[in-house]
Structure 1
Amino acid sequence: MAKNWNYNENKNKIIIDPPKQTLRITGHRMSSVLGLNEYQTPFGAWCEITKLVKLPFEDTKYTIAGKAIEPKLIDYMKKKLPNVVSIEDYYGNVFEDFRWNNFKDDSKIYGGVIDAVTTLNDKKTLTAIIECKTSSHPEHWSNGMVPTEYLLQGALYSYLKGLKQIIFVCTFLNDIDYAHPENFEANDSNTIIVIKKLNDLIFEVNGEYLNIEGCIEYGNNWWKSYIESGISPEFDETKDKEYLDIIRSSDVTKDTPLLKACEEAFELSRAIKQAKVDNSIDEMEKRLKSLENSIKQEMIDSDTVMCGNYKLNKQVKKSFREEDFAKEHEELYNKYIDIVESYRLTKGKGE
């Protein structure tokens, strides 16, 4: 975290300088912005879009399976509909220009990556967005239902491309499928297709019922209120704990009085020093340093490159003799001298 931050007066929002570079509201973040994502709040989306915080990401069995099975679902759809192509094949030779954002020419705020599309016979004119999904919960897709997060994602992408419908293809996996997604085959018994018309979609946002245009307008206003201002939405101590922990760890004095932080740091330093004494760490470190210095010198003297688990690496580099240069060229040396302030934190002898 490189950005400076502070609290607002009520200590329920984070304030940063208005960001010069941002990420976009993607299909995933759209539901977060609208408060419809159970896994991420508007504050979490704000943290990511402003680049204040990015949570560590690790692949899970679900993400691994999704990546492995997506091409299989596209192949499945090719058997069901004409002119189905992956987004990579659609952009062809210019795919690298659109790899990370398929909407860079459509919006300055919204973005994302499409899974696949259908086209007219000219292979250029889009007719529908195809979103490929995997799930272990078929009940979430019963009777033509689509989970809200996915529905918003597809609606956003279709709207930005000026299309009137979204095609969802979802395949249902069991434990063995997640264990070996490379062996999975999509077929009519484990896969469904759901088609939604954009004009039929209504989303409940803060007690109001919005169509996709209303959601886009909400997102535009949200962007102006929070992204352009650098002032976050209100955070929730429980739901936003991961983001807040990372933010607060970058400057503990925002939540802890300076004197208290000093006292805590000093006591922690003493405890670490005592732990080293109790476990003879200092003596072991001194012995290790002595041994390695002796090993290094002996290997140099004997022209030995490898010894046990140790390898001697030789480096040759130029060294600038600053003192000699200053004596011989004092005027030129002083011309390039700058006064730079630096600070060093030291502890008292009470340790």
Structure 2
Amino acid sequence: MAFDGRANIVEIDDSDRVVVFDLYRKKKISGTKLGPILGVSDLSTPFKVSLELAGIYPGDPRNKYIDAGNALEPVIRNYVRKNAQSLLPGILGIPQSEQLTVEEPVPREKCGYDHFHDSKVFGGLVDGYIGYEGRRQAVLEIKTSGNRPKWLDSEGKVSVIPETYMLQAGLYAQLSGLDRIVFAVGFLEDQDYDRPGNWVPSPENCAVIAVDRPDMAKPMKDAETWYHEYIDRGETPQWTDADADLVKWLKSYDPKAASKARKGNGGSGHRRRF
């Protein structure tokens, strides 16, 4: 039987609406978790992120939106690479040159699923880099979206970066020591999520935007403080009504049944109390 992270729960405190846990091995704050920690994400919560960083919750199950994003990341990166001379010089303020490159990221399996081993608190995986004359110039951040209007400014131009994405890319730019970010965004229709292999990037459905790295000093300081307060201490922030399904899942864990299954598989059966 595979290890269930809920076995590390010490207590689920309904009165304080928190979970106390024993930490076996904590994870680092990646770019996708920075926004939820700071309360600017519609897709996750600080409570959920704390359980993910503690290894208790394995993350939301895969769906067609996640699968499409994963499948199209290399497609969009190749699109940017093949059209680099027309897409990048103008937005980066550099001349056209054969020395303009789009760098592949180190495969996640070869870097321990983290491109930033020098940081103890922050980590994650970049989608690539833009290089010029042998030096990295910008972080490449690739996104897919089914909501084009949220990227549009008042003139109908694709130039608005959702805050949680800006924090994610800003973190990776900061950790990479770079001042610029290039977003490559593929806009999908509903049917594209069912058949992402049929989607072909073009100027009509793909936009490339260059922005300066935001000031990451306060966001990173606030996130690190949060990390020490909750993850290092072994207690989640309070859950809210948005976490109701997750709390229900936590409470569905049966230590006795898990222990019995482990013994049947030759395990010790030792687990901490609820």
When normalised by structure 2's length, the TM-score is: 0.77
Q: 1:219 aligns with which of 210, 219, 223?
A: 223
**Shift of residue 183 of structure 1?**
2.3
Aligned to 1:134: 144
Tell me how far 1:215 sits from its aligned partner: 0.3
Which residue number corresponds to residue 186 of structure 1?
A: 201
Aligned AA (1:156): L
Partners of 2:249 and 2:59 in 1: CA distance: 8
Structure with bigger RCO (C-alpha 8 Å, 6+ apart): 2
1:179-209 alpha-carbon deviations (Å, 9 max, x no partner)? 33222221112111111111xx3xxxxxxxx
Paired position in structure 2 for 1:15: 20
- For residues 15 and 72 of structure 1, the distance between their equivalents in structure 2, rounded to whole angstroms, comes to 42
1:231-285 superposed Cα distances (whole Å, 9 cap, x missing partner)? 211111x211232112222369xxxxxxxxxxxxxxxxxxxxxxxxxxxxxxxxx
Alignment of 1:336-351 (within 5 A): none
Contact 1:55 1:243 in 2 (8 A): no
Provide closer, same or farther for how the CA distance between residues 231 and 176 of structure 1 changes in structure 2, counting only shifts above 3 A.
Answer: closer
2:149 alignment partner, SS class: helix
Which residue of structure 2 lines up, in the alignment, with residue 110 of structure 1? 122
RMSD, aligned α-carbons: 2.2
Moved more, 171-180 or 153-162: 171-180
List runs of 5+ in structure 1 lacking aligned partners. Answer: 202-210, 253-341, 343-351
How much has 1:99 moved relative to structure 2? 5.3
Q: Distance in 2 between matches of 1:219 and 1:151?
A: 15
1:119–1:178 CA distance, 2 compared to 1 (3 A): same
Aligned partners of 2:145, 2:198: CA distance in 1, in Å? Answer: 16
Using the alignment, how far apart are the partners of 2:59 and 2:109 within structure 1? 26
Which SS does the other structure have where 1:132 is aligned?
Answer: strand
Amino acid at match of 1:161: S
Question: What residue number does 2:96 align with?
Answer: none
Q: Which amino acid aligns with 1:187?
A: S
Name the residue aligned to 1:45: 49
Q: Give distance in 2, aligned partners of 1:133 and 1:9.
A: 38
Separation in structure 1 between the aligned mates of residue 112 and residue 77 of structure 2, nearest angstrom = 18
**Equivalent-residue separation in structure 2 for 1:11 and 1:191 (angstroms):** 46
**Structure-2 separation of matches of 1:5 and 1:251:** 13
Aligned residue for 1:83, secondary structure, equals strand
1:157-196 paired onto structure 2 within 5 Å: 157-196=172-211
Does 2:105 align with 1:87?
yes
Distance 1:22 1:103 in 2: 15
Structure 1 56/135 Cα, relative in aligned 2: closer, same or farther at 3 Å? closer
Q: Note closer, same or farther for the CA distance 1:99–1:230 as it changes in structure 2 (3 Å cut).
A: closer
Q: Distance in 2 between matches of 1:14 and 1:179?
A: 37
Residues 1:233 and 2:237 aligned together? yes
**SS of match in other structure, 1:194:** strand
Equivalent-residue separation in structure 2 for 1:240 and 1:111 (angstroms): 25
- Give the AA of the match of 1:25: I
What are the superposed Cα offsets for residues 83-133 of structure 1, whole Å, 9 maximum, x if unpaired? 102213xx7xxx74325111123x1111111111112333xx422111111
C-alpha separation in 1, matches of 2:129 and 2:234: 36
Q: Output the CA distance in 1 between the equivalents of 2:250 and 2:75.
A: 40
- Pairs aligned (count): 231
Distance 1:161 1:226, change over 3 A: same
Please say if residues 99 and 113 of structure 1, whose CA atoms lie closer than 8 Å, have aligned partners that are also in contact: no
Match of 1:28 in 2: 32
Structure 2: which 5+ runs fail to align? 1-5, 89-99, 154-158, 256-269
Residues 67-76 or 151-160, more deviating? 67-76
Give the conservation status (yes or no) of the 8 Å contact 2:16–2:238: no
Q: How does 1:195-210 map to 2 (within 5 A)?
A: 195-198=210-213, 201=214
Residue 71 of structure 1: aligned partner: 74
- Give, as a single letter, the amino acid of the residue that structure 2 aligns with 1:63: I
* Cross-structure match for 1:248: 251
Letter in 2 for 1:27: G
TM-score, structure 1 length as denominator?
0.61
Distance 1:7 1:181, change over 3 A: closer
* Aligned match of 1:6: 11
